[in-house]
Amino acid sequence: DSGLLRAPGFGIRDSGFDLAIRGGTIVTSTGAFDGDVGIRAGRIAAIGADVGPAADTLDATGRLVMPGGIDAHCHIDQKSSSGLMTADDFYTGGVSAACGGTTTIVPFAAQHRGQPLRGVVDEYLERARGRAFVDYGVHVIVSDPSAPGFGADLPALLSGGFPSIKVYMTYDALRLDDGQMIAVFEAAASVGAIVMVHAENTHLVAWATGRLVRSGRTEPRHHPASRPALAEAEATGRAIALAEAVGASVFIVHVSCRESLESIVAARARGVRVFAETCPQYLLLNAADMDGPGFDMAKFVCSPPLRTPADQEALWEALGAGHLDLVASDHAPYRLRDPLGKLAHGEDAPFTKIPNGMPGLELRLPLLFSEGVRKGRLTLEQFVRLTATSPARIYGLSPRKGDIAVGADADVAIWNPDLTQVVSCDGLHDAMDYTPFEEWCVTGWPETTVARGEVIWHQGQVHGAPGRGQFLPRPPTTAPDDGAR
Ligand code: URP
Ligand code: ZN
Ligand code: ZN
């Protein structure tokens, strides 16, 4: 056995490849082995001990050759419900992704109340055209089922390349009530689409917020107390129950606490199709990190908020045990010292007025590698599954994306697992003026990123033009419900 695998229809070994990645340790979702990757016409054409001649070669000796990451939860080129644009668009966000080893993103086309859904999606695709730097799918945020044309637009989108939608259970301008959620779950279930849920009990958040505001505790440091873990856990349990009753697949985004994990684990044990993610900020930061005075702490304001060290530990355990499917960034880039960002209502604004979210596209993989793989909490294969293979499978990008496999797109990140660098905002490629991980010491970085066979990040340089990223229409990924329930 030469160890050489060939794609059906691909030529003989001597015909050569466009690009060969030689001598690295190839890490797939199921194993790691030393060898070469041969790339032709943007796809992986061979994997083996020695793939033979190629027009170009990347030497991967001493390096890890892993699938390019898929970030299935990031906000770019998106207007918030209060009218603020994210700082990153499809180009800056895509470059930042690529420099962090991510080759596919799935951001959100957000419906605001009254907007016809089809128009929202068309406009979003127009923003991507000519700007996208990495390949992208699009999730659709649904905030108004009473908008004109909704009843026809939703099923058409779900089965027409957009088989994943996100709904909110909180935020007054976005949230659906339980009845609306049931209707959306039913529409998704009928075509095998998946509903992503931002789960927080809005009334409990309003109550906790009111108490803080009435007692003058309105600095950013108080934001975590305004969104209790039980608000997240209650809504998580409710979303799962509604999905279970209707027969829908549900995906709980940005799980931050032990209590939410408990209802996810219990539902999975009884066979409910519930998927879930967490994000680096919930694994690596906690509320104590933002327990300081003044506006500066606004950089950590996100929802759900940062929790406790015990929650961090529970999330790491859940990742290791397979109770969480993937790690996404929830990149929500609002600049700190910018009136179009966190400063929208001034330095002294109460936390209720501060745009929610933090950046994370570029550091998602290095942070998870450094803190997860290097510290023995995750195996290399788990890292690959959590960051590439699972998002590809859950969101309909597989087998084209998400693994190193013959026939797949040649989306590959070549990692130096021993390179240590100190994080600084200046060294990142997004449009942000801060990173929540400033001065973190991170070991393990992607030195080269290849996307559809094209080297787009190498030796500290970005290569490739805006618009090189392609739209990825996706099929539904779960069995349609037969309505028998
Ligand atoms: O605080 C966050 N995460 N903002 C981004 C939007 C969302 O809810 O995912
Ligand atoms: Zn959310
Ligand atoms: Zn989000």
Residue 170: CB atoms within 10 A of its CB come to: 21
Q: What is the C-alpha to C-alpha distance for residues 140 and 156, in angstroms, rounded to an integer?
A: 12
Q: How far is the CA of 331 from the centre of ligand 1 (A)?
A: 8
For the Cβ of 166 lying below 6 angstroms from any atom of ligand 1, the answer is no
Q: Specify the pLDDT at position 15.
A: 63
The ligand 1 atom at the shortest distance from the C-alpha of residue 166 is 9
Q: Which residues pair with 56 in a beta bridge?
A: 19
* Radius of gyration in angstroms for the set of CA atoms belonging to the chain, rounded to a whole number: 22
Q: Which ligand is nearest to the CA of 252?
A: 2
For the Cβ of 332 lying below 6 angstroms from any atom of ligand 1, the answer is yes
For the Cβ of 75 lying below 6 angstroms from any atom of ligand 1, the answer is yes
Rounded to the nearest angstrom, the gap between the alpha carbon of residue 470 and the centroid of all alpha carbons in its chain is: 18
Q: How far is the CA of 442 from the centre of ligand 2 (A)?
A: 27
Q: Specify the pLDDT at position 63.
A: 98
DSSP 74: B
* Mutational pocket test of ligand 1: of 71, 73, 74, 75, the residue with most ligand atoms within 8 Å of the beta carbon: 75
Q: Specify the pLDDT at position 454.
A: 98
Q: What is the C-alpha to C-alpha distance for residues 21 and 51, in angstroms, rounded to an integer?
A: 9
Residue 125, helix vs strand vs coil: helix
Helix axes 202-214, 229-246, angle to 10 degrees: 170
Q: Specify the pLDDT at position 481.
A: 66
Q: What is the pLDDT along the chain (485 residues), one digit of tens a residue?
A: 344 444 444 444 446 999 999 999 999 999 999 999 999 999 999 999 999 999 999 999 999 999 999 999 999 999 988 899 999 999 999 999 999 999 999 999 999 999 999 999 999 999 999 999 999 999 999 999 999 999 999 999 999 999 999 999 999 999 999 999 999 999 999 999 999 999 999 999 999 999 999 999 999 999 999 999 999 999 999 999 999 999 999 999 999 999 999 999 999 999 999 999 999 999 999 999 999 999 999 999 999 999 999 999 999 999 999 999 999 999 999 999 999 999 999 999 999 999 999 999 999 999 999 999 999 999 999 999 999 999 999 999 999 999 999 999 999 999 999 999 999 999 999 999 999 999 999 999 999 999 999 999 999 999 999 999 999 999 998 877 655 44
Dihedral sign for Cα atoms in the order 74, 259, 297, 386? negative
Q: What is the C-alpha to C-alpha distance for residues 17 and 19, in angstroms, rounded to an integer?
A: 5
For 203, phi then psi, to 5°, come to -75, -35
Residue 466: CB atoms within 10 A of its CB come to: 15
The ligand 1 atom at the shortest distance from the C-alpha of residue 301 is 1
Q: Specify the pLDDT at position 188.
A: 97
Dihedral sign for Cα atoms in the order 335, 339, 342, 343? positive
* Mutational pocket test of ligand 1: of 82, 303, 307, the residue with most ligand atoms within 8 Å of the beta carbon: 303
Query: Do the bridges between strand 135-136 and strand 102-105 make them parallel or antiparallel, or are there none, so unpaired?
Result: parallel
The ligand 1 atom at the shortest distance from the C-alpha of residue 332 is 5
For the Cβ of 356 lying below 6 angstroms from any atom of ligand 1, the answer is yes
The ligand 1 atom at the shortest distance from the C-alpha of residue 171 is 8
